[in-house]
Each structure stands twice: as structure tokens, then as C-alpha cells.
Amino acid sequence: MTFNHMITTYFTCYLQNERGVSINTIKSYKDGIRMFVEYLCRVLKVNAERINARSITLDHVLSFLTFVEQERGNSPATRNQRLAGLKTFFKFIAAKDPEFMHLNELVQTIKFKQTAYCPPPSLTVEEMDAILAVPDTDTLLGSRDHAMLTLMYHTGARVQEIADLTINDIEFAKNPFVSLTGKGQKTRLIPLLQETIDSLCAYLEFRKQFGIESEHLFLNNKAEPITRFGIGRRVKKYTQIAAEQCPSLRGRKVSPHVFRHTCALHMIEAGVDIVLVQEVLGHKRLKTTSQYIEVSIERKRKALGALVSKSDPASREKPRWKTPKILDFLRNGRERYVA
């Protein structure tokens, strides 16, 4: 098997069919492997079609990671992302050809770099309400956007999951729910609030009035399925408009994924069991979901800190029973001091 064949089989058969990896993950891995191939072309001084997989060494992988950070100026987090893709790739080719088992073992020993913990960005209830209040629900596009944003917030769905939804994925019966298909083509059923159902029904009624027919739920102004990038642009637009009435949104970078973080955090703060939050979000590991508990605690800590800072301890009068008699005398201007 040639190096080129290894790469094409890795993406078309292994990742997509055997592992069921999402389209976005495949795209990210493709970017990393492409950079690695281009780097090999440079150091081996051959074109991509003539790269011999047996000429690749651990030093090539390590020097590539250094190249990513130093020459490309990428962050340790991006370097770790590229490394994760390479580890998966070399594990695949080792499984296909035992000759690469030793190289794979060496690649798997490369450590991921530690990165500074950055809590997931989220919105307050007031900020979210301000954004949801912006779309004009008396128009087709405004009704669509209100339904779309409300559904994202109330389900914690990934943006690609929203873009891929069909009308048949929504159950409008007695116990309404949405069927979301996430990473690894895994499906999860999320109950829908009446507010979300009302918003979706209003949007679909508009579509009916305009004679728009499509199995996809959310369509762009050309009646074609909206893309994740289109959704991102709508979120950005409404955030900027909402900032005029909600100052805390000014200068904020709000993406569809922030809606997902916000849904998770608000569920945690409402006392929803973390295992249930994990199921709603479709997280593979509970550790991923537990980060929202840390954010919730930090928000409470900041709120308490702000409460304390508003009250200057030096300006507070001590309780009367702790006040020395001499100070009591001076404050009240008494004529005589009683010992």
C-alpha cells in the first residue's frame, strides 16, 4: 500500500465508515495531514506522490510539531490537535501494515502539551433573552431565526446538528422531542419545551404560506438548507443588535457554540443532574460535562465577590455592643466620660 493510498483509505474508509467521525472532525484531520505531507515534501525534497511511508521517522513527526508552533505560530492547543490527528493516522497504518507498528508506538509516546484552562464562554439569562428578542417574528426569516436560536438554546445542539435537521426529526405530538444526530452518527432524543414548539410551528406556518417545500427544517433565503456558517452569521448579527439594549454583550464574540455552553451552564445552575446534562449534550465523557460545574461555581464566587466589594468594611459601623465607650462618647458628643 502506497503512502497516498494509505491517506485516501484513512479518510474515505476508516474515519468515515468504520469510526463514523463527523464531517468537521474529518476536515480538521485533513488539514493536519495536508500540512504534514507538505512539510515532508519540503524536508524530503520530493513531491507528494513520491513520498515513501517507510522513509518517515519519529524525528519527522517531532520536527513537524515544532514547525507548527514556531514557524506557523500556532498555539499549543492547535499543536495538540495536529498531534491527535497524526496519532490516529499512524495507528491506522500500523493496523494495516505491521511494518509500521514500531513507528506508531513511538508516535503514541509523544506527549500533548499542557494548555491554560479556558472556561467555556457562556451567556447570562438576561443576555440570552436579549438576543432571542431581536428577530422579527412577523417575517419569514425572522420567524426562522427565532425558532432556530430558541431550539439551539433549549437543546444545547451543535450547530451542524441544527443545520442537518429535517422536519421529520421533530415530533410535534403529545410529548414533543427533537432527534439530533451528533458525532459518530449517534442519535439522541431531546424533549422540547412548549415555547420551542410554538416558535417552530410559527416558522413552518410561514413556510406554508409562502409555498416553500423542503424536507430540511431551516432554509436560507434561497430556500436551500442553511449552513453552519450561515447560522453563525445570524448569531453574530443578532448579538450586535442585542448589545444596543444589553451593554454586557458589547464587544462579545458569540457563536452558535456559545449557545450550547449556555444551555449546559443554565441546566447545571438550575440543579439538573450532571449525567442528564451529559446525555442532552451528547458528551462521550462525563469529564467534558463537569467543566460546567466549575464555571457555575466560579460565577457564584465572582457574584459574591462583587457583593462584598460594594460594601466598604471601613465604612461599616461596628455593632453597638463592640463599640468602646470612649468612641461612643466622641460620636455622640457627651459631656462626661463614664468609665
Active site residue 237: no
Active site residue 34: no
Taking alpha carbons only, the member of 82, 89, 76 closest to residue 15 is 89
Active site residue 257: yes
Choose the catalytic residue: 60, 216, 257, 299. Answer: 257
- Determine the pLDDT at residue 183: 79
Q: How many residues does the chain have?
A: 339
Choose the catalytic residue: 183, 216, 236, 252. Answer: 183
Which residue intervals of the chain bear CATH 1.10.443.10?
125-307
Active site residue 216: no
pTM above 0.85, yes or no: no
Choose the catalytic residue: 79, 82, 234, 260. Answer: 260
Four-CA torsion 142, 143, 144, 146, nearest 10 degrees: 80
Which top CATH class is 3-108? mainly alpha
Distance, in Å, from the CA atom of 215 to the CA atom of 20, rounded to the nearest integer, reads: 24
- Determine the pLDDT at residue 320: 52
Choose the catalytic residue: 146, 154, 158, 207. Answer: 158
CATH number belonging to the domain at 125-307, selected among 1.10.357.10, 3.30.70.2190, 3.40.50.620, 1.10.443.10: 1.10.443.10
- Determine the pLDDT at residue 315: 47
Which residues in the chain land under pLDDT 50? Answer: 315, 334, 336-339
- Determine the pLDDT at residue 314: 52
Active site residue 203: no
Which residue intervals of the chain bear CATH 1.10.150?
3-108
Active site residue 260: yes
- Determine the pLDDT at residue 297: 80
SS3 label, residue 179: strand
